[in-house]
Amino acid sequence: MIRWVVAIFLMLMVFSGLLPFLAKLGLGRLPGDIRFTLFGQAFCLPFGSTVLWSAVAFGLAELVALTCLFCS
pLDDT by residue (tens digit) across 28-39?
Answer: 678 888 888 999
- Determine the Cα–Cα distance for residues 46 and 59; give it in Å rounded to an integer: 20
For residues 39-55, average pLDDT? 84
Domain boundaries in the chain? 2-67
The HSE-up count of residue 4 (CA atoms within 13 Å, CB side) is: 5
Global confidence as pTM = 0.60
CA distance 67 to 3: 24
| pLDDT reported for residue 27 | 67
Q: With cut-offs at 50, 70 and 90, classify the pLDDT of residue 72.
A: low
Phi, psi of 69 (to 5 degrees): -85, -25
Nearest to residue 32, comparing CAs of 16, 13, 52, 17? 52
Looking at residue 39, its pLDDT comes to 92
